[in-house]
Amino acid sequence: MPVNAADTAWLLISSALVMLMTPGVALFYGGMVRRKNILSTIMMSFAILALVGLLWVLYGYSLSFGADNGGLIGGLDYIFLRGVGQEPSPVYATTVPHLAFMIFQAMFAIITVALITGAVVERMKFSSLLVFSVLWLTFVYCPVAHWVWGNGGWLAKLGALDFAGGTVVHINAGISALALAWLLGPRKGFREKQPMEPSNIPMVAFGAGLLWFGWFGFNAGSALTAGGLASSAFVATNTSAAAAAFTWMVLSWIYRRPTVLGIATGVVAGLVAITPAAGFVSPMMGIPIGVGAAVVCYYCMLLRMRRGIDESLDVWAVHGMGGTWGALATGIFASVAVNSAGADGLLLGNAMQVLKQLAGIAVVWIFAFGATWVLCKLVDVTMGLRVTTIEETVGLDISQHGERAYGGMLR
Amino acid sequence: MKKIEAIIREEKLDAVRAALRDSGYLGMTVSEVSGHGRQGGLTLQWRVGEYKVDFLPKLKVELVVLDEDVPKTLNAITSAARTGEMGDGKIFVLPVEDAVRVRTGEGGENAI
């Protein structure tokens, strides 16, 4: 197929939009930690932008999208971008240069690894995080991306729908975060209920704004063409974000006061939940999906806190459970009238689709938790996961990076 | 000479400054401090639920006055800063050895 200029322009812009989400995560997470750990939290996302940006062109893309091996993993044919050029791929996004599809996918891999860092802030050793990131990308992200999106991937063949990454990105990151936080243990003072006060909520709001903006590339870009489907996914995305943000604000208000931290969290929950559904449901379905996302994530977060688990920035509650709800909701609200490549959902009389979605959810839950546990143990016994107690007390900004966010006595 | 250190509510600064001006004292040093007395902490909200902060934001007003002005200054600050609720703050009075005005080099009571 010849290269389509409009599709190419849209996919390149979308790639840039998704790239901006990772600095968005840096600010979103950075503002929620204590003052002494802001930089270390931001650094995690930026280091992953650099690290995964390299690994992806070296071998990550090939493992995910290379020639299929039994539905489980891609081959090494695209290693070092061999054969990935200006001509379209014969099977992926056939109207744009193969390079454009490759870099679009790179941004997804980067943000997925960055999302996990919310679980480990304020206590994980930086060098261990880097090693863990390499292992996790290679042994968890690449296989799951191949299963769901790769040509011949076994979950795709099963018929589980995932438009823009509800399972590959959000469930995968959320469940892995839970396993990682579990092995890492809580922050010093967490069990004693010391206040872990967010140091910069305006920064959280700015990060959430960048995420909302970038998510249009994430979801509408996943149409891989510039046209009706991209527009439909765009509107569904905005509608779900708005519905979830508003719902979270109301829940917070019922509890006591409507908070900025709450509405910013609601935005992200709504965006997560619409991700697998965006191009398979009619845009108005963004409302029930968004409202459901806020309710599910809000109560999962409360549950997590009551259980005393220090999964610090709630990657499990927002991405794991928001993604689970979204994947399930795709099976409920999907319609072939929106996307002929999709399927009808429960509301249109196809209960089977819900079962297929549940199968996809279960597989990623189990694999992500188990594989992350093993990789994490490996890093723990070889180099240790945590900083020392004194390094943690001083703060990771100084102990891991030798700088501080707000320096200088003199104005 | 005595040094007055008054810990007051943030919102009472303007009233305290006006009362001190009326007592003839124009200069002072103000700093943001946090602390707590008998008053409980502050309850803030997280993404869900809430957490307690033990130390509350207060302002510390410092100035040095002549011995004979101590009663009227204390009176001025007390009446300006009081709400009658817990958390109105505290005032401490300390002896001062000496003082120097940097611009002129004047010392002792002439410097304040």
Complete DSSP assignment for B50-98: EEEESSEEEEEEEEEE-GGGHHHHHHHHHHHH--SSTT--EEEEEE---
E strand or H helix at B15: helix B13-22
Measured between CB atoms, which of B47, B50, B51 is closest to A256?
A: B50
- What does the domain layout of chain A look like in residue ranges? 5-401
Residues from chain A that touch B54, judged by Cβ atoms under 8 A, are 195
Cβ contact, residue pair A256, B49, below 8 Å: no
Best of A28, A193, A253, A259 to substitute, by most chain B Cβ atoms within 10 angstroms, is: A259
CB contact under 8 A, B46 and A265: no
Residues A334 and A280: beta-carbon distance below 8 Å? yes
CB A57 within 8 A of CB A106: yes
In this complex, the residue of A195, A252, A265 whose CB is nearest that of residue B52 is: A195
Residues in Cβ contact with A395 at an 8 Å cutoff, skipping those fewer than 6 apart: A34, A35, A36, A37, A40, A404
Count other C-beta atoms under 10 Å from residue A35's C-beta: 15
Nearest to B87 by CA among B56, B51, B60: B56
Say how many domains are in chain B: 1
Element (H, E) at B35: strand B29-35
A195 contact residues in B (CB cutoff 8 A): 44, 51-54
Of A321, A333, A310, A220, residue with least CA distance to A268: A321
| Residue numbers of the domain that contains B102 | 2-111
Q: What is the pLDDT of residues B61-108, one digit of tens each?
A: 999 999 999 999 999 999 999 999 888 999 999 999 999 999 999 999
B4: β partners: B63, B93
Per-residue confidence of chain A (411 residues) as pLDDT tens digits?
Answer: 799 999 999 999 999 999 999 999 999 999 999 999 999 999 999 999 999 999 999 999 999 999 999 999 999 999 999 999 999 999 999 999 999 999 999 999 999 999 999 999 999 999 999 999 999 999 999 999 999 999 999 999 999 999 999 999 999 999 999 999 999 999 999 999 888 999 999 999 999 999 999 999 999 999 999 999 999 999 999 999 999 999 999 999 999 999 999 999 999 999 999 999 999 999 999 999 999 999 999 999 999 999 999 999 999 999 999 999 999 999 999 999 999 999 999 999 999 999 999 999 999 999 999 999 999 999 999 999 999 999 999 999 999 999 999 977 665
Q: Which residues pair with B6 in a beta bridge?
A: B61, B91
CA gap A137, A48 in Å, rounded: 10
Read off the pLDDT of residues A96-146 as tens digits, 9 standing for 90 and up.
Answer: 999 999 999 999 999 999 999 999 999 999 999 999 999 999 999 999 999
Mutate to test the interface with A, among B31, B47, B55 (most CBs of A within 10 A): B47
Chain B partners within 8 Å of A196 (Cβ): 51
Residues 6 or more apart whose CB falls under 8 angstroms from that of A160 comprise: A148, A167, A327, A356, A357, A359, A360
C-alpha A157/C-alpha A160 separation (Å) is 8
Interface test with A, best of B48, B52, B54 (most A CBs within 10 A): B48
Tokens at A17, concatenated: 């939009």
Distance separating alpha carbons of residues A115 and A319, to the nearest angstrom: 8
The Cβ of residue A74 has, within 10 Å, a number of other Cβ atoms equal to: 25
Say how far residue A68 (Cα) sits from the centre of its chain.
Answer: 24
Architecture of domain A5-401: Orthogonal Bundle (1.10)
CATH of residue B93's domain is 3.30.70.120
Measured between beta carbons, the chain B residues lying within 8 angstroms of A409 are none
Using beta carbons and an 8 Å cutoff, which residues of B are at the interface with A? 44-54
Please indicate whether, in this complex, the C-beta atoms of A198 and B51 are within 8 angstroms of each other: no
Contacts of A198 in chain B (CB under 8 A): 46
DSSP string across A128-161: HHHHHHHHHIIIIIHHHHHHHHSTT-HHHHHT--
Output DSSP code: residue B103: T
So what's the pLDDT on residue B40? 74
Q: Determine whether the interchain pair B48/A301 forms a contact, defined as Cβ–Cβ distance below 8 Å.
A: yes
Q: Kindly report the nearest CA distance between residue A265 and chain B, in angstroms.
A: 7
Nearest CA in chain A to B53: A195
H, E, C per residue of A278-330: CCCCCHHHHHHHHHHHHHHHHHHHHHHHHCCCCCCCCHHHHHHHHHHHHHHHH
Separation in Å, CA of B10 to nearest CA in chain A:
20
Phi, psi of B63 (to 5 degrees): -155, 160
Confidence (pLDDT) at A257:
96
Which structure tokens are listed for A327? 């994947």
Whether residue A262 and residue B45 make contact (CB cut-off 8 A), yes or no, is yes
Closest alpha carbon to A278 in A329, A350, A209: A329
Among candidates B5, B26, B1, which has minimal Cα distance to B81?
Answer: B5
- Short-list A318, A344, A218, A324, CA closest to A278: A218
Report the run of H or E that residue B7 belongs to, with start and end: strand B2-8
Confidence (pLDDT) at B17: 96
Instruction: Please judge whether A195 and B51 are an interchain contact, meaning their C-beta atoms are less than 8 angstroms apart.
Output: yes
Q: DSSP letter for B32, please.
A: E
| Torsion angles phi and psi, residue B91, rounded to 5 | -125, 135
Report chain B residues whose CB lies below 8 A from the CB of A197: 44, 51, 53
Torsion of CA B69, B71, B76, B77, to 10 degrees: 100
